[in-house]
Structures are given as structure tokens and as C-alpha cells.
Amino acid sequence: MKRVSSLALALALLLGVAPAIAQRDGVEVGNNSGFTKLVPAEDIEQASRQQYAKMMQEAASKKALAPGNHPQVQRLRRIAQRVIPHAVAWNPRAKDWQWEVNLIGSNQINAFCMPGGKIAFYTGILEQLQLNDDEVAMIMGHEMAHALREHARERMGKSAATNIGASLLSQLFGLGDLGQTVASIGVDLINLRFGREDESEADLVGMELGARAGFDPRAGITLWQKMGAASKGSPPQWLSTHPAGATRIADMERNLPRVMPLFERARKG
């Protein structure tokens, strides 16, 4: 019994969340999951860089990668330049990320931000939804939030805990090398799907990021209204595992009082 209790205590300490941060303005979503500690951030970010580079090379070979002087690429990068400075408050590692923003020619209603700040939009989401800058900023903030809150790392940590089992835990408790964890799990970081809790969290963090950058957070609501209209009863790829539109709109409306002051402050500044 004592042996089991010791293991339980060690696991609790390993996965325990950090002490609560001081009261802050903006949204409240709690601390990052303790499961992120099971996989080194450096490994995931390295895998992300490799997968992103390969995807951009493939897009370029198919003449689907928009050039840097493309008006929509310049637009996306301008928006990113305003939002990225606010990322560090959510994840200190973000200050060292090599951020990239690219546009891929595709009818998909899709966008993503991989660990390490690798962002891509598809032309379909811009053209089919006719997004204004505020709405683009809400999508960008949402996708950045997944990277900043380390949702991919959390997913992989859970896989490590459940699939690799005792041998991995032995390495962890002995401070062993986890460098092969990412490869052994084999996660496709570009097409990784997140759960509803992660998506709801990303909505709120994304609203705050956009608001602090001077983009109207109410655009999150118009964005999801457009998404709902575009889905026509059959959710596009970007929506497939996300919470229902009405639910996420209600959540965003409840949090508007927390982010509107940030938007007003940024607009005046």
C-alpha cells in the first residue's frame, strides 16, 4: 500500500498544475495542463518546424504557396505583427519562437498555428467567408492560442501517460531522455484535432489576444455566425470537432465584458 501511495504522490507532483497566477484583466482559463510536462516542448517545436517546412515545400511545388508580395499574405502578416507581441503573456517560450505566416491556395475553410508559431491560412477561409480584419484576427488568435496553451503537447502527454506506460514513467521519475517521445507517438501536428474544452479555451484566449492588439473581439461572434451559415448543416473541416456554434457564441458573449476594455484601451493607445 505504501508503494502505491508513493507512486500516486509522485505522479500527482509531476502532473500538478502550477500555483494560480495573480488576478489579471482579461479572460480566465486556468493553468496549462500538467500533462504537458510529460513531453519536452523542444521536441514538439522541432517536429513542428519540420512538418511545417515540408508542407510549405509541397505547397510551393504545386504553386499553391502565395508569394510574400501577395496582398492577402501582406494583410495576414500585418495582423500577425500586431497580435504576436501579446503572445508572451500566455507562454514565455513564445518570445523565442520563429513566427511564420503563410497563405496556401485551397478551397478549404481552414487555418492553423503549430507549436513554435508556424501559422497558415487557406484562401478558402478568407474568400468564402469574406472575412474582415477583425474576424481574421479572431481566427489567428484562436489558432495561436492552441500553440500558446500547448494543447498539442497536452494531447501527446496524455498519449504518453496512457500508451507508453510504466517504462516512460520510470524514465520520467529518473529524469530520463524523452527525446524520442514525439517520434514514437507519431502525431501529425498539422492536422491534429483538439477536444471541445481546448477549442472553447482557444476561443477566449484568441479573443483576448485580438482585443489587446486593437481588434474588435465582437468579431468572434460574427465570425461564428458566418461559419454556421457556411456549414449548411455539414460542418467544414475546421469545425468538425469544435463546439456547436451557438454554444461558443454564448461563451464569447459572456466574456465580452472582460475583453472589451482591453480593446478600448488598445484603440485609444
Q: Give the model confidence (pLDDT) of 37-80 as tens digits.
A: 677 888 889 989 999 999 999 999 999 999 999 999 999 999 99
Region of residue 6 (phi > 0: left; psi between -120 and 50: alpha; otherwise: beta): alpha
When comparing pLDDT for 32 and 15, which is higher?
A: 32
Q: Where are the beta strands (DSSP E) in 61-182?
A: 100-104, 111-114, 118-122
Residue 13 lies in a domain: no
Distance in angstroms (rounded) separating the CA atoms of residues 99 and 85? 11
Query: What's the confidence (pLDDT) of residue 227?
Result: 84
Cell readout for 152 is 498539442
- Catalytic residue among 45, 100, 143, 154, which? 143
pLDDT classification of 94: cutoffs 50, 70, 90: very high
When comparing pLDDT for 45 and 12, which is higher?
A: 45
First to last CA, the chain: 60
Query: What's the confidence (pLDDT) of residue 196?
Result: 80
Distance in angstroms (rounded) separating the CA atoms of residues 67 and 130? 21
The number of folded domains in the chain is: 1
Q: What is the mean pLDDT of the chain?
A: 80
Residue 179 lies in a domain: yes
Query: What's the confidence (pLDDT) of residue 86?
Result: 97
Residue 237 lies in a domain: yes
143 is catalytic: yes
Residue 134 lies in a domain: yes
Residue 18 lies in a domain: no
Query: What is the DSSP annotation of 4-23?
Result: HHHHHHHHHHHHPPPPPPPP
Look at residue 12 and tell me whether its pLDDT is greater than 60: no
Residue 164 lies in a domain: yes
Residue 8 lies in a domain: no
State the average pLDDT over residues 86-99.
96
Residue 20 lies in a domain: no
Q: What angle do CA 103, 64, 131 make, to 5 degrees?
A: 35
Residue count of the chain, please give it: 269
Place of cell 507508453: 164
State the average pLDDT over residues 95-121.
96
Q: Determine whether 6 is exposed, middle or buried from the number of CB atoms within 10 Å of its CB (0-12, 13-18, 19+).
A: exposed
pLDDT tens-place string over residues 216-226: 999 999 998 88
Look at residue 183 and tell me whether its pLDDT is greater than 50: no
Q: What range does the domain containing 171 cover?
A: 34-268
The region of weakest confidence among 126-135, 192-201, 240-249 is: 240-249
Query: What's the confidence (pLDDT) of residue 161?
Result: 62
| Of 207, 202, 211, residue with least CA distance to 149 | 202
